[in-house]
Structure 1
Amino acid sequence: MVKKRIEWVDMAKAVAILFMIIGHELSGEARNFIFSFHMPLFFILSGYTSRKITSFEGFKNNVAKNFRRMWLFASLMVILMNLESWVLNPIPMDEFLLHLVKGIFWGANILKYDVTNVGVVWFLYAFFWGKLIYDGVCVLIKDWHIEGGIFLFGAAIAYLLARKELWLPQTLDIALVAAFFMWMGAVLKQAKFDEMKHEKWLLSLAFIYWIVCLTQGLSLDLSVRSYPKFLVTMLEALAGTLVWIKISKYLLLNQLTQKLSYFGKHTMVLLCIHHLDFYWIKWGGWIQSEFSQVLLRTILDLTVFFIVMAIMKLRQKISMISL
């Protein structure tokens, strides 16, 4: 059975992945604006679109599928980034292997442990473990209120660990926050928030809350375990996601902007290109202007993206002809 795509979900993911590329080269208020919602949005939408797992058999199948699609793929991306770095700056093989193992073990860039080779695929490790935690709790607990309490408790543990600068291997602490966001998404789906009679009021309150948080300089950054004021920024991420879901629906109404949803259908491809574009390894230090960094890296990543997609489409056509 082919799962039907939800157009506004693809558009929202497209906005988030493009903001991810841009946000990595920005600082200050512009960076806070993007980081206040862009990665939590992916976890929230995962909870919204995922079918709830209620059996151990379904849980086992889901873990196996996500292990192949997320964990193994993330590890491959870490290996490829290490190889890129080694080609440009060769080091002894024992150092190379140690750096590689540390990267996969921690699953995130952590300077205090001399891990700098994971790049953006920390997200895939966090997604894999977050989904495992989320599905596991849903199998064991059938009441969504109790589930919410468990996920909130897990997120609180992650927050306390972050305050002590204690990171768990495999981004398991970030995964606890990811699971909480997934639960938020599932609640939104259960409540049918986009069909509510008072949707405009809800969105207005979400927009006001989001903007107030931004004016206070508040935003979270999952990759470095930054959760200022904890629940305040958790709710800020939810509010920002709600606002961008609505904006995404408006973008679909315009023939020009609706083409952006193409990126949302292939976020994994763009994530990998961004991860392997040599920017952090080599050429990023050559550019000083933030605007130039944003412009050049975005153009590069999107150009490579379209080349890769064209090759994939060509291969598909050749395969169909050969059949």
Structure 2
Amino acid sequence: MGGTSLQPDSIASAAPAPTHTGSRLQYIDIAKGIAILAVIIGHVAIRMEGLSYGASVVTASCFTFHMPLFFLLSGYFLHYQNQFNWKREARRLLLPYVIAALAIVVLEALTTFFLRDQPQGTSLRHYIWEWFNAAIYGSAEMTDKELWPQAFRIGAIWFLLALFWARFLVTAAYKSRHSGLIVLILALIGDISARNVYLPFSIQAGMTASVYVYLGTLARRHDAMNYLRDHKLMLIPALMVWLYAIMHYNGFSMGTADFGAAPLDIARNIIGSLGGMVSILILSMYIEQDGHWISSHLAEIGRISLLVLVAHIIDDDVIWKGTINMLILASGLGAFKLVIIESIVRCSYTVSLAFMASRSRVIRSLFSLR
């Protein structure tokens, strides 16, 4: 698909890659495919972070680039010159959020009723209400700073809410001559306020993420992708910057608007994420250029990355905390080996579920897939 119309079929959002020949720029889909797999792997590794140095490195490698890259690519395709289209953006970002959240609530109800005992002293009705509460709040993690008590967090689909706000804020900021300054101020307000109170609907996450969406618009205006394509040796300094951020990683949670505890941490995370994003984009260009079979598979995963995200969060919130997880933990393998095995298993079946779902006309319509 070509042109410059919006593209909803990936979580980077919402617009088809601009083209030179009338077809998609495959390396962008490849980069999104790598990033969504990194989301799954990162969520596996972070649970083993304190048990293995290798798991900690994997966690840092994933979290320093995956969400920033999706926000940046969304900005790259953002038509900020136009008025913000509330209806279209809601259909393409908020509707998938509602569908995924309802699926989590229903599946939690079914698995709790048929396969698990609800928490002691808690009725099934109350348990399900707590999940509805989590879906309404839209929090990536529980921080103890919410406006009202939360028993659960809705998890990775916070991204859809945050992306909605970030796209709105950047579009609005561009109505001013000082758009960059406005975005920076909004991001600072989001970061500082989230240290004291965490608002619902991932508003602060959207405020801080607007920095990456704005950088994406600048990348488009200054033709940064073609520059990287013509200067692939930029991969070397980019990798060095990224590696430095990985080796000194001490937390970077875009879902809770936490870019770091101190100014140095914030600067290192942002600069490191730029190195990571540039590295992944150039590597994706190399993969596209090589034409290896893996390029088409990664590109296809990137094209349905929104469905992969939804399948992953259903797995993460409902499926994985059951029998499969217990079987792997009972294996007696070390933490890093568990990260590798679990990552392979979860990436495989999550992507498979997303591919199967993408064959449904109803799903394709609901998620605006083409």
- Name the CA distance, whole Å, in 2 between partners of 1:281 and 1:211: 32
Correspondent of 2:341 among 289, 292, 296: 292
Measure, in 1, the Cα distance between the counterparts of 2:357 and 2:279: 32
Match of 1:97 in 2: 129
Q: Secondary structure at the match of 2:156?
A: helix
From 12, 16, 26, the equivalent of 1:7 is: 26
Q: Displacement of 1:151 after TM fit? A: 1.2
Alignment-derived partner of residue 247 in structure 1 = 283
The corresponding residue for 1:261 is 299
Aligned counterpart for 1:191 among listed residues 198, 203, 222 = 222
Counterpart CA distance in 2 for 1:37 and 1:248 is 14
Q: Which has the higher helix share?
A: 1
CA drift at 1:125: 0.8
Alignment equivalent of 1:135, drawn from 153, 168, 171: 171
- Correspondence 1:173 to 2:204: yes
Where 1:166 maps in the other structure, the secondary structure is coil
Aligned-CA RMSD value: 2.6
Distance 1:137 1:72 in 2: 25
Q: Percent identity?
A: 21
What's the TM-score, normalizing by structure 1? 0.85
Question: 2:324, 2:180 → 1: CA distance?
Answer: 41
Moved more, 276-285 or 152-161: 276-285
1:148 is aligned to 180
Match of 1:308 among 348, 357, 361: 357
Change (3 A) 1:296 1:214: same
* Shift in CA distance, 101/115, structure 1 to aligned 2, threshold 3 Å: same
**Aligned partners of 2:59 and 2:246: how far apart in 1?**
10
Shift of 1:233: 0.8
1:271, distance to aligned residue in structure 2 (A): 1.1
* DSSP 3-state at the match of 2:249: coil
Deviation at 1:51, TM superposition (A): 2.0
| Runs of at least 5 residues in structure 1 that lack an aligned partner in the other structure | 317-323
Paired AA for residue 124 in structure 1: L
Equivalent-residue separation in structure 2 for 1:76 and 1:310 (angstroms): 17
Q: Output the TM-score relative to the length of structure 2.
A: 0.75
The gaps in structure 2 that reach 5 residues or longer are 6-15, 19-23, 50-55, 114-122, 330-337, 366-370
**Take 2:286 and 2:166, find their aligned partners in 1: how far apart are those partners?**
30
Equivalent pairs, count? 305
CA distance in 2, matches of 1:274, 1:95: 22
Aligned letter for 2:353?
Answer: V
Distance 1:305 1:263, change over 3 A: same
Q: Where does residue 321 of structure 1 map in the other structure?
A: none
Instruction: State the match for 1:279 in structure 2.
Output: 319
Q: Per-residue deviation at 1:196? A: 3.8
1:272/1:99 CA distance change after superposition, 3 Å: closer
- Deviation of 1:94 after TM superposition, in Å, equals 4.8
Kindly report which structure 2 residues correspond to 1:157-236, keeping only aligned pairs within 5 A, or say none: 157-162=189-194, 164-196=195-227, 199=231, 202-218=234-250, 220-228=252-260, 229-236=265-272
Quote the Cα distance in structure 1 between the aligned partners of 2:181 and 2:31: 27
Greater RCO (CA < 8 Å, at least 6 residues apart): 1
